[in-house]
């Protein structure tokens, strides 16, 4: 278990509890009074908040609390055995988006990963991000060799923030086990421990690169699946560099048809790829949604 500073944890705990209370979830927050006496009084619930379905309030509160809580909500959305189906459906709406960081901040993180001469190594880097999520920001670059690549840069300070949140979640889980008899059925401490392992792995881009390389090896003989090439010389724990691939999202059926592609054939090939991953390789893509899978035409 990583260590987080007590003042930072206390400040963040106050923010977590106040956010819950503001969205009319104060009954849960108030239960923590004996453990966090110094963070009260909490903010009052917003006027009229009780008229909003509790599932919606939970989702909004998680979004406001950021990376760790968004990821936790996404995990719970796939566990209707742990949360009511209505809440699971609402948590499916959680968006892992974030306001883009200034390019100057990204440059500092690139210098931290590759050294002060990172521009000589990466060539021309586009200032506008392709995407900005809670853990990383993505930029396109053109290497000195002319190859177009994608840079996935971890947000600075995100590891420290996540570790603080995980410490708070552990406290809340233990509190629930002590005060709620029904908590024995779901074992919240074990859930938090498993979640902690998952999110820590997600923040380690070297692990992600190894997984992508293994995935690429599995499908190297399959003409229907293409995995972008990695540029290992640039990959670090906080930086992932891979080949740029353009294409159409599998969820954009209208564009697929306009391009002369048959959605039925695409669905069959996608199903075959997933079955191979699960039953042949025992190693599968855990999040194959429309933003992660594209249709593209490549020369063979």
Which of 81, 204, 246, 287 is labelled catalytic?
287
287 is an active site residue: yes
Tokens of 261: 């592609």
Pairing mode of beta strands 131-132, 136-142? antiparallel
Burial of 143 (0-12, 13-18, 19+ CB in 10 A): middle
Angle at 194 between CA 73 and CA 25, to 5 degrees: 35
Crossing angle of helices 54-65/67-77, nearest 10°?
140
* Cα–Cα distance, 290 to 283 (Å, whole number): 20
Burial of 185 (0-12, 13-18, 19+ CB in 10 A): exposed
* Cα–Cα distance, 55 to 80 (Å, whole number): 13
Tokens of 79: 């566990």
The catalytic residues are 287
């Amino acid at each position: 278990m990583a260590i987080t500073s007590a003042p930072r944890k206390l400040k963040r705990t106050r923010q977590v509890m106040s956010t819950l209370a503001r969205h009319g979830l104060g009954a849960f927050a108030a239960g923590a009074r004996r453990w966090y006496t110094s963070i009260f009084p909490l903010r009052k619930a917003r006027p009229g908040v009780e008229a909003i379905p509790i599932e919606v309030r939970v989702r909004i509160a998680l979004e406001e609390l950021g990376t760790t809580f968004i990821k936790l909500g996404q995990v719970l959305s796939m566990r209707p055995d742990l949360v009511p189906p209505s809440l699971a459906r609402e948590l499916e709406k959680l968006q892992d988006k974030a306001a883009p960081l200034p390019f100057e901040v990204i440059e500092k993180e690139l210098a931290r990963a590759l050294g002060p001469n990172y521009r000589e190594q990466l060539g021309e880097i586009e200032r506008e991000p392709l995407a900005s999520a809670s853990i990383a920001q993505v930029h396109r670059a053109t290497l000195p060799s002319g190859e177009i690549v994608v840079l996935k840069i971890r947000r600075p300070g995100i590891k420290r923030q996540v570790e603080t949140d995980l410490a708070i979640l552990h406290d809340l889980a233990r509190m629930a086990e002590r005060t709620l008899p029904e908590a024995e059925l779901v074992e919240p401490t074990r859930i938090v421990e498993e979640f902690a392992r998952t999110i820590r792995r997600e923040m380690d881009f070297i692990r992600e690169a190894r997984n992508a390389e293994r995935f690429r090896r599995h499908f190297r003989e399959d003409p229907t699946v293409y995995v972008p090439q990695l540029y290992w010389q640039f990959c670090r724990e906080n930086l992932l560099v891979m080949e740029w691939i353009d294409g159409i999202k599998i969820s954009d059926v209208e564009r697929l048809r306009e391009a002369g592609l048959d959605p039925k054939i695409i669905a069959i090939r996608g199903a075959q790829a997933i079955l191979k991953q699960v039953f042949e390789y025992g190693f599968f893509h855990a999040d194959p949604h429309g933003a992660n899978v594209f249709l593209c035409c490549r020369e063979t």
